[in-house]
């Protein structure tokens, strides 16, 4: 398992490495945004410990890039101790947030939780492919009658059909090749965004409950995941799919329950006027 420490204070970076060092762990120590990205592209990390105040920019930029391009877990470790800073970090996708000065014992404990999450993910799914989410999960049984009883909504008792390619203007999603396009432009989606997208497009017009989505995205490691993580993932996916010019929201929020992918007829123009969508 690989940990990247993004910290421009080299003494502190080395102290963190020494505190966490044990068998089975390797480290990358990066002192700037540029070096962090180069190090990650050379050998991707499983866990990133990230300072926000870096010499060549904000760590939030790197947080966004990591979450766009990997499933790495990110712990922000910063002197920025305002509540608004913490809210921003978590909203942008950070998995945890600690402020300086900090306890090395607490840092070790939180990294240990991260390692358990990653171990559970690997043991449960052989992660890396969105298909893993739909395979060998005994908790989800085929039950069409249950779906009907739920009024067409999906719960943890129902199973999802598999789809290879989804083509519906303006989208083309090839789940086998992991290629996703809108208006011919390729979209960069994280593994969880790919999984979430597949759940939606395979079940248009059906309410997917928060509990189902949470279980399908994180499975047995869900106990270690903040509840806000689902909302963050949905919002990131929305931003990538939607175009402000057409005013269409493909992912509808059903408040207090979950989310729904709108059917094509609900997003098409009616009588020459675009149909209004709820957020």
- Indicate the residue among 110, 125, 140 that finishes a domain: 125
Give residue 153's pLDDT band: very low, low, confident or very high (50, 70, 90). low
Tell me which residue range forms the domain holding 262. Answer: 130-274
Same domain, 88 and 18: yes
Within-domain flag for 279 = no
Within-domain flag for 238 = yes
Same domain, 61 and 197: no
13: pLDDT strictly greater than 90: yes
- Residue that wins the pLDDT comparison between 167 and 265: 167
**Per-residue pLDDT, 225:** 67
Q: In what order do the strands lie in the sheet with 47-50?
A: 26-30, 2-6, 47-50, 73-78, 96-99
The 8 Å CB, 24+ separation contacts for 107-112 are 107/16, 107/19, 107/20, 107/49, 107/75, 107/77, 108/19, 108/20, 110/75, 111/3, 111/20, 111/47, 111/49, 111/75
Instruction: Specify the number of domains making up the chain.
Output: 2
- Residue that wins the pLDDT comparison between 132 and 63: 63
Measuring CA to CA, which residue among 194, 173, 195 is closest to residue 182? 173
């Amino acid at each position: 398992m690989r940990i990247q420490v993004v910290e421009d204070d080299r003494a502190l970076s080395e102290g963190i490495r020494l505190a966490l060092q044990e068998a089975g762990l390797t480290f990358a120590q990066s002192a700037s945004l540029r070096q962090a990205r180069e190090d990650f592209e050379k050998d991707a990390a499983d866990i990133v410990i990230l300072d926000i105040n870096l010499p060549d920019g904000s760590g939030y930029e790197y947080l966004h890039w990591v979450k766009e391009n990997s499933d790495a877990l990110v712990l922000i470790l910063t002197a920025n101790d305002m509540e608004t800073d913490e809210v921003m970090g978590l909203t942008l996708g950070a998995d945890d947030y600690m402020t300086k000065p900090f306890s090395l014992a607490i840092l070790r404990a939180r990294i240990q939780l991260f390692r358990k999450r990653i171990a559970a993910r690997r043991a449960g799914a052989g992660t890396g492919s969105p298909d893993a989410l739909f395979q060998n999960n005994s908790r989800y049984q085929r039950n069409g009658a249950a779906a009907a009883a739920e009024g067409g909504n999906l719960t943890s008792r129902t199973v999802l059909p598999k789809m290879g390619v989804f083509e519906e203007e303006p989208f083309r999603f090839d789940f086998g090749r992991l290629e996703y396009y809108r208006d011919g432009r390729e979209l960069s989606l994280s593994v969880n965004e790919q999984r979430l997208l597949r759940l939606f497009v395979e079940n248009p017009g059906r309410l997917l409950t928060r509990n189902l989505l949470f279980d399908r995205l994180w499975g047995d490691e869900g106990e270690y995941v903040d509840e806000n993580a689902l909302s963050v993932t949905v919002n990131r996916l929305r931003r990538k799919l939607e175009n402000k010019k057409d005013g269409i929201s493909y992912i509808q929020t059903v408040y207090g329950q979950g989310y729904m992918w709108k059917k094509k007829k609900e997003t098409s123009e009616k009588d020459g006027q675009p149909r209004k969508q709820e957020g």
